[in-house]
Amino acid sequence: MFRGKHIWLLPLITALVVAGVGWWADGQLRRVVRQEIHNDLEATLNANVTALEIWMTYQKRIASSLAEEPGFKALALDMIAQRQAMTNAATATERARQLLVVGQFGERLHTLGYPYAQVVDTNYVIIADNARGRVRIGQPMLDELGPRYRELFAKGEPLIILPFKVPHPNGPRRYSPGSRPAPGILASRLNNRMLTNGPASLLRRPSAMQVAVPLKDNLGQIQGALVLVINPDAEFTRILSVARNGDSGETFAFDAEGLLLSESRFDAELKKYRLLPDTPAAVSALTLHLRDPGGERALGYVPETNAPLIWMVENAVNGNSGVETQPFRDYRGVPVVGAWRWLDAGFGIGTKVDATEAFLTLRMVRSIFGLLFLMLVLASLVILLFSYRQVLWRHRLTEAEFKARRLGQYHLVEKIGEGGMGSVYRARHALLRRETAIKLLPSDKAEPHAIQRFEQEVQLTCRLAHPNTIQVFDYGHTPDGIFYYAMEYLDGLNLAELVQRHGPQPEERVIHILRQVCGSLGEAHGLGLIHRDIKPANVFITDRGGVPDTVKVLDFGLVRQFGPHASNAQLPEFVRTEGIVGTPNFIAPETIHNSDQADQRSDIYSLGALVYFLLTGEYVFEAGTVAEVCRRHLDEIPLPPSDRLGKPVEADLEALVLKCIAKDPARRPQSAAALGDALAECAAALRWTPERRARWWSTFRQRAATQMPAIAPALLEKTIKIDFEERTP
């Protein structure tokens, strides 16, 4: 399939195939990677949510178990009932400590790791506390915690109170937005414990959680509540940090206002971005609102004042749960992918990972593929360059070989033309010393189709002997596969060059030329052959043999038989099955409809279009596309030559031209001989005298000697083949 100079197509086609497969594979890989990321995020979120729900259930069960301790419950209910009867503050304090510290209950609190415990009555007043130091028995709870305790006493079920910041004992009881308030007396006791016996984590970040369970009497009436204080660092945050994705993944909790309830993995970075104070005690939990800055802070982006919540948090607080693998910005402004869920406990859980890390595998595969594709393209370009240089050198070598060799008895002198079917050389017969034109079909173009066309042109042209038809002398091929045929050498110019250089021609000269063309075609038509490609480039004029304006009809490569007795079965398969052929500006309408309808009158239409061109210097119909030209041949009435030329044309000649290009073949002259006779009867037929012809050629030769090289037969206009599917209806 890929031979010779076309070998360079192989790597290019391979590159295109690889690109197509790569595009498909990239889509499949992207889908698989996104699904894996989706599954990982969902699994991580489910693991954290499940662990957190188990932990909260466990805390509620422990608190409920402790509240049902017989000794503790009886004392607690009795103390709640007698609270107003206690007048001795020291006795009340000691009894409160005895209630929560002494005995089996106190041992269980110590074993289970709860820093503090309290008893609260239904008026939200603390009546017992096991904190060391000063105890403010009778201190009411803060108003901000009222809704949670009202829910506790209304439903009678244990509940978890989310993390909150613990204020300084001597500080204000209310805090700025973004900080959760704590119970006043509990805050005092908790801070006091942190400053004395508290763990180091609590010393760094004074925050707490609570699990509260109702205390019911024998009749099931709620009389108060047992409150257990939890260290969120040792429990809540630690659970959320167990399951993480990679080096940038994190799971965090947040409330309905987007406030971070657990510690961020990136506190050190947040301090660099001035989202946190640059102090050891500063932490993101209960401080940072999860807002989208609109750009990466690491790149110096300054967010707007009223930035919205990050996308996943905003979806969660609106009650939605989901997974998103299309990157969005987190609170650092870094593109991430994540999953989120809003829990019935009144807070949300989110897990995320940087998009750069999540799609690392995809980027690596894409980079490898891109590198391979680039190498393949470079290889294709190298082969293309090598092939081009090889073809160029082969062409130069062939030229040198042709100049240095003989084709039989013919010595090649110089190249004088080149077309799609090969090259034309001026040659000299070794014995006859006669100049000859040699048409060559090089071995790299000698495919079966081209050889058949080449042989057909030679064989059919040899059947024609009219003096106005190009004569073929010889045909053959060399041992190395170069086909050639020898024909008479013409020194002049074709009609396309004539009009291009000298403009529209006089009427009398047009008649003189066309009568000779009619003579050549008359012989062909008499043998049942139609030319099918009459156009200016295929009609050559010269002063051969001392006869000025001698016409030669060239290129019978598209000839075929017509009529009821046509034996086209003898023609090559590609000729019998081909679609419409010809040059669009000179093609007959019936040929466009059906090439089998073509006969000698189709050549007459082409001759009429040729006369029109010689008289006006323009085509009968012109358009931007082949299809539009064919449509105009089918449908439009042409302008008379005089209208197109802008000056009068002999009436008889103009009428004859319009008759030749009639849409209906029956209205045209029915033969080339009839057209020749009609041309001879035109008023201007005799005005192109031998003297005028001789003067014209004398002037032409003088100019050619100083300005132009000798002109040989050449195809300057393009002959096309139109498939049946592309025909204009």
143 and 208 part of one domain: yes
pLDDT digits (tens, 9 = 90+) for 201-258: 333 446 888 999 999 988 989 999 999 988 887 788 888 877 777 789 999 999 999 9
The residue-averaged pLDDT of 301-311 equals: 84
Domain annotation covers residue 429: no
Q: Do 542 and 644 have their domain in common? A: yes
What the block records as the tokens of 715 is: 């195809």
The per-residue pLDDT for range 510-552, each reduced to its tens digit, is: 999 999 999 999 999 998 889 888 999 999 999 888 899 999 9
Q: Is the pLDDT of residue 719 over 50?
A: no
Q: What pLDDT score does 240 carry?
A: 86
Query: pLDDT grade, residue 321 (50/70/90)?
Result: very high
pLDDT tens digits, residue range 611-661? 999 999 999 998 888 889 899 999 899 999 999 988 999 999 999 999 999
pLDDT at 443 over 80: no
Q: Is 499 inside any structural domain?
A: yes
User: What pLDDT, on the 0 to 100 scale, is given for residue 561?
Assistant: 78
Tell me, what's the pLDDT at 382? Answer: 78
For the record, the structure tokens of 485 come out as 């045929």
Selected residue with higher pLDDT from 678 and 273: 678
Q: Is residue 197 part of a domain?
A: yes
Within 13 Å of residue 418, how many CA atoms lie on the same side as its CB?
A: 6
**What stretch of H or E contains 720?**
strand 720-722
Which one, of 546, 520, 515, 542, lies nearest residue 531 by Cα? 520
Is 396 contained in some domain?
A: no
pLDDT at 55: 92
pLDDT tier for residue 570 given thresholds of 50, 70 and 90: very low
Q: Considering only CA atoms, which of 713, 660, 688, 671 is closest in space to residue 518? A: 671
pLDDT, residue 177, reads: 33
Same domain, 101 and 134: yes
Same domain? 226 vs 278: no
Who wins on pLDDT, 399 or 594?
Answer: 594
Compare 420 and 710 and report the one with higher pLDDT: 420
Q: How does the average pLDDT of the chain come out, rounded?
A: 79
Task: Among 358, 388, 418, identify where a domain stops.
Answer: 358
At residue 2, the pLDDT reads 47
- Confidence label for 709 from pLDDT (cuts 50, 70 and 90): very low
- Are 324 and 188 found together in one domain? no
pLDDT, greater one: 286 or 453: 286
CB 137 within 8 A of CB 128: yes
Q: Which of 142, 143, 72, 154 is nearest to 108 (CA)?
A: 72
Is residue 299 situated within a structural domain? yes
pLDDT > 70? residue 97: no
Q: Please check the confidence at residue 571 and state whether its pLDDT lies above 90.
A: no
266 and 192 assigned to the same domain? no
Residues 272 and 219 in one domain: no
Boundary residue ending a domain (190, 205, 236): 236
What pLDDT digit, counting tens, does each position of 574-583 carry? 444 444 567 8
Inform me whether the pLDDT recorded for 275 exceeds 60.
yes
CB proximity list for 315: less than 8 A, separation 6 or greater: 322, 340
| Paired strand residues for 437 | 426, 487
User: Based on the domain organization, do 287 and 333 belong to the same domain?
Assistant: yes
DSSP secondary structure code for residue 141 in this structure = P
Q: Structural domain of residue 257, as residue ranges? A: 249-358
What residue ranges in 330-471 does DSSP mark as E strands? 335-342, 348-354, 406-407, 410-419, 422-429, 435-441
The per-residue pLDDT for 581 is: 63
Average pLDDT over residues 75-89: 70
pLDDT digits (tens, 9 = 90+) for 140-167: 877 777 888 899 999 999 999 888 776 5
Q: Does one domain contain both 290 and 231? A: no
In sequence order, what are the beta bridge partners of 324? 338
Q: Which tops the pLDDT comparison, 268 or 404?
A: 268
Which CATH number does the domain housing residue 658 bear? 1.10.510.10
Mean pLDDT over 490-517 rounds to 94
Q: Are 404 and 398 in contact (CB under 8 A)?
A: no
- Residue-wise pLDDT for 344-356, tens only, equals 888 999 999 999 9
Q: Give the residue from 358, 375, 398 where a domain finishes.
A: 358
Least confident of 38-52, 445-459, 582-596: 445-459
Lowest mean pLDDT among 365-374, 403-412, 422-431: 403-412
Q: For 139-148, 304-313, 394-403, 553-562, which range has the lowest pLDDT when averaged over its residues?
A: 394-403
Question: Is position 51 within any domain?
Answer: no
Q: Which percentage of the chain shows pLDDT scores above 70?
A: 79
SS3 129: strand
Catalytic residues: 533
Give the CATH number for residue 280: 3.30.450
Q: Are residues 588 and 721 in the same domain?
A: yes
pLDDT at 664: 93
pLDDT at 221: 92
Lowest mean pLDDT among 393-402, 405-414, 427-436, 655-664: 393-402
Domain at 201, CATH number = 3.30.450.20
220 and 268 in a single domain? The answer is no
| Alpha carbon separation from 607 to 139, 563, 719 (Å, rounded) | 119, 20, 16
Q: Tell me the pTM.
A: 0.49
Whether 337 shows a pLDDT value over 70: the answer reads yes
Q: 22 vs 33, 367, 466, 627, CA distance in Å? A: 16, 12, 63, 38
Measured between alpha carbons, how far is residue 83 from residues 75, 77, 342 in Å? 12, 10, 41
In 3D, which of 382, 391, 390, 445 has the Cα closest to residue 12?
Answer: 382
Backbone angles phi, psi at 77, to 5 degrees: -65, -40
* Same domain (yes/no): 521, 627: yes
CB under 8 A, 24+ apart: contacts of 592-599: 592/630, 592/633, 592/634, 592/722, 592/727, 592/728, 593/634, 593/727, 598/530, 598/532, 598/562, 599/530, 599/562, 599/563, 599/665
Mean pLDDT of 444-471: 80
| Predicted local confidence at residue 197, as pLDDT | 34
Supply the pLDDT for residue 640. Answer: 94
In a domain, 76, yes or no: yes
Domain total of the chain = 3
The reply to whether 637 falls in a domain is yes
pLDDT tens digits, 122-140: 888 888 877 664 445 677 8
